[in-house]
A and B are shown apart, each in its own frame.
Chain A
Amino acid sequence: MPSTYRLSKVGRKLWTRDRARTPREEVERLLESTEPGGTVTIDLRGVDVFDFSFAAEFFGRLLQRLPTEHAGRFLVVEHIGPWTGPNLQATLEGLELAAIVRDEDDRYRLFGKVTETDRATFEALAARGGRSTAAELASGLHVNLTAMNERLQKLVGRGVLRREEAPGRARFTYHTPQS
Chain B
Amino acid sequence: MRVPCVRLWHIVRACHPTNGVVLLAAEPVPFAYGSRFAQNQMSASPSAPEKIDSVTFDRLLAQQDPVETGLFDLRATGFIAPSGLVNLGLAIEASTKVNTEVQLLLRDDSLCTYLARSGFLIALPPACRIEPEVADLYHAYDHRIGRSPMLIEVTRLYDRDALDVLLDRTIDTVAHVRHRRNDALDVAALLSELGGNLLEHGGGSGLLALQVYREGSDSFLELAIGDLGPGIRASLQRNPQIGRLAGDLQAIQHAVRPMISGSTEPARGSGLYQLLRLTREHGGSVQIRSGAAKARWRADRPHGFGFDTPFLAGTQISFTLPGG
Distance in Å from the Cβ of A129 to the closest Cβ of chain B? 33
Q: Which residue of B lies closest to A90 (CB)?
A: B274
Query: Contacts A13-B167, A16-B160, A91-B270 given: A49-B185 contact, CB under 8 Å?
Result: yes
Contact of A15 among B167, B182, B267 (CB under 8 A): B167
Which B172-194 residues have C-beta < 8 A from chain A?
A: 181-182, 185-186, 188-190, 192-193
- Give the most central of A49, A64, A87: most B CB within 10 Å: A49
Q: Is A51 an interface residue (CB 8 A)?
A: yes
Are A95 and B270 in contact, with the CB atoms below 8 A? yes
Chain A residues whose CB sits within 8 angstroms of the CB of B266 once the complex forms: 60-61, 64
Are A52 and B268 in contact, with the CB atoms below 8 A? no
Q: Is B213 an interface residue (CB 8 A)?
A: no
- Give the most central of A17, A51, A57, A60: most B CB within 10 Å: A51
Q: Is B70 an interface residue (CB 8 A)?
A: no
Distance in Å from the Cβ of A106 to the closest Cβ of chain B? 26
Chain B residues whose CB sits within 8 angstroms of the CB of A134 once the complex forms: none
Which B143-169 residues have C-beta < 8 A from chain A?
A: 160, 163-164, 167-168
Which A18-77 residues have C-beta < 8 A from chain B?
A: 18, 48-53, 56-57, 60-61, 64
User: How far is A95 from B260 in the complex, measured between Cα atoms in Å?
Assistant: 11
Q: Interface majority SS on A: helix, strand, loop or mixed?
A: helix
Q: Is B258 an interface residue (CB 8 A)?
A: yes
Are A56 and B270 in contact, with the CB atoms below 8 A? yes
Are A53 and B193 in contact, with the CB atoms below 8 A? yes
Chain A residues whose CB sits within 8 angstroms of the CB of B188 once the complex forms: 13, 49, 51
Distance in Å from the Cβ of B239 to the closest Cβ of chain A? 16
Are A52 and B163 in contact, with the CB atoms below 8 A? no
User: How far is A102 from B269 in the complex, measured between Cα atoms in Å?
Assistant: 28
Are A53 and B192 in contact, with the CB atoms below 8 A? yes
Distance in Å from the Cβ of A158 to the closest Cβ of chain B? 15
Distance in Å from the Cβ of A95 to the closest Cβ of chain B? 6
Are B167 and A52 in contact, with the CB atoms below 8 A? no
Interface residue range, chain A:
20 to 34
Are A64 and B267 in contact, with the CB atoms below 8 A? yes
Interface residue range, chain B:
20 to 34
Are B273 and A56 in contact, with the CB atoms below 8 A? no
Which B265-305 residues have C-beta < 8 A from chain A?
A: 266-268, 270-271, 273-274, 277
Are A90 and B277 in contact, with the CB atoms below 8 A? yes
User: How far is A57 from B193 in the complex, measured between Cα atoms in Å?
Assistant: 13
Chain B 39-68 per-residue mask, 1 if CB under 8 angstroms from chain A, else 0:
000000000000000000000000000000
Are B267 and A56 in contact, with the CB atoms below 8 A? yes
Distance in Å from the Cβ of B19 to the closest Cβ of chain A? 36
Q: Is A82 an interface residue (CB 8 A)?
A: yes
Are B267 and A57 in contact, with the CB atoms below 8 A? yes
Contact of A49 among B189, B193, B196, B258 (CB under 8 A): B189
Chain B residues whose CB sits within 8 angstroms of the CB of A94 once the complex forms: 258-259, 270, 273-274
Q: Which residue of A lies closest to B188 (CB)?
A: A49
Q: Which residue of B lies closest to A65 (CB)?
A: B266
Q: Which residue of A lies closest to B200 (CB)?
A: A17
Are A48 and B277 in contact, with the CB atoms below 8 A? no
Are B189 and A52 in contact, with the CB atoms below 8 A? yes
Distance in Å from the Cβ of A64 to the closest Cβ of chain B? 6
Distance in Å from the Cβ of B190 to the closest Cβ of chain A? 8
Q: Which residue of B lies closest to A14 (CB)?
A: B192
Chain B residues whose CB sits within 8 angstroms of the CB of A15 once the complex forms: 163-164, 167, 189, 192, 196
Are B181 and A56 in contact, with the CB atoms below 8 A? no
Pairs of residues from A and B, 3 with the lowest C-beta to C-beta distance, nearest first: A60-B267, A51-B192, A56-B267
8 extra interchain contacts, Cβ-Cβ under 8 A, other than A16-B160, A90-B277? A15-B196, A18-B160, A50-B189, A51-B188, A60-B267, A91-B274, A94-B270, A94-B273
B contact set with A: CB distance below 8 Å:
160, 163-164, 167-168, 181-182, 185-186, 188-190, 192-193, 196, 258-259, 266-268, 270-271, 273-274, 277
15 residue pairs of the A-B complex, CB under 8 angstroms, read A13-B188, A15-B164, A15-B167, A16-B196, A48-B185, A51-B189, A52-B271, A53-B192, A53-B196, A53-B271, A56-B268, A64-B266, A82-B182, A83-B181, A94-B274
